[in-house]
Amino acid sequence: MTIVRISGNTGTKVGGPIVSPWLSLVDLGAGDAAVWVGRGAADGTFDISGVPDGNYTLTWWDEPQDYNLNMVNVTVSDGETVTMGQLPLNGWWTEYDGYVFADANRNGVKDSGESGVPNFTLTLRHRENNLYDRGQATATTDANGHYYFESGYPIGEWIVMEAYNDSFYTTGVTYQADNQPTPTTVKGAGVDVSVLPIIGLSGRIDWGVHAYDPTGANGVDPRNGGIVGSVSYDTTRNELDPQYAASEDWQPSVSGVPVELHATVDCGTHAGTPCDANDKYELAPDGSYAPGLLLNTSYVRRNDESPKRMLR
């Protein structure tokens, strides 16, 4: 029996061949005994020769098991050659990919000549801002600025993709889901995008970013990236010394908390006030830096959103 993969359509979107798939053929008349187990070629084709007449089950799957295993019954009669056609594997994980690119004209679209940003880390997070605890939760751009979430967990509820880097601000994003005929561009400086991972469906998001203006003189770009972070409920502190404590992925965020940004107070501003070890800034009675002029106030978002806000 010869089984080959040929062109065809199963009524669903075809993404491409499964590279070197695994296959097994079992004999239904011999207690499901395996008569052949092997791999197909890089283009997904395969050939099983010398199979006697009988009833069989053919099963196929991919090596990393990113797709649902599939099977079909096959009958061989009179030494015939059975051509199976295109054998589908339905996707399981949600895939996200795209580019983080230097958006020279700040329009949120990756135009010709705009280069990618390498080593830019993106994460998938719960709406409470903790890192997603299933599937692939982080991805880093390659030398061309391309990133790939190969196995986002298809939970079927809204989560957050975050692209934050201290050196850049977001100019806009261009996204296209599997069921969108054309991409959509949204301009703005946000670092979070809501995504809905569904079994077998995927999407593409290109993130336009631009460097901050260190001088504050060009009149286009912000001068600095500000301060961003989250407030979490420290339910399980693993660190014995609280000064080394870090938020764990499973800790919930706390909304509505006011966060204030104060200037420091130069040493010697108030007579008799102790200063830090370098004699640069005055200290408060508890040993922390004394708060000076209030520069900015922000509030952590409510619980159904990512709690990060920017202080400038």
Domains and CATH numbers, the chain: 1-90 (2.60.40.1120), 94-225 (2.60.40.10), 227-303 (no CATH)
Residue 31: Cβ within 10 Å count: 7
Cα 287 from chain centre: 40
CA atoms within 13 A on the CB side of 147: 30
Q: What is the mean pLDDT of residues 212-228?
A: 82
- pLDDT tens per residue across span 141-196: 999 999 999 889 988 889 999 999 988 999 999 999 988 999 999 998 889 999 99
Task: Please tell me the predicted confidence (pLDDT) of residue 171.
Answer: 96
Residue 83: Cβ within 10 Å count: 11
Question: What is the value of pTM for the model shown?
Answer: 0.66
Residue 70: Cβ within 10 Å count: 13
Would residue 290 be called left, alpha or beta, if left means φ above 0 and alpha means ψ between -120 and 50 degrees? beta
- pLDDT tens per residue across span 80-119: 889 888 898 888 889 999 999 999 999 999 999 999 999 9
pLDDT at 231 over 90: no
**Which residues are CB-contacts of 65 (< 8 A; sequence separation ≥ 6)?**
none
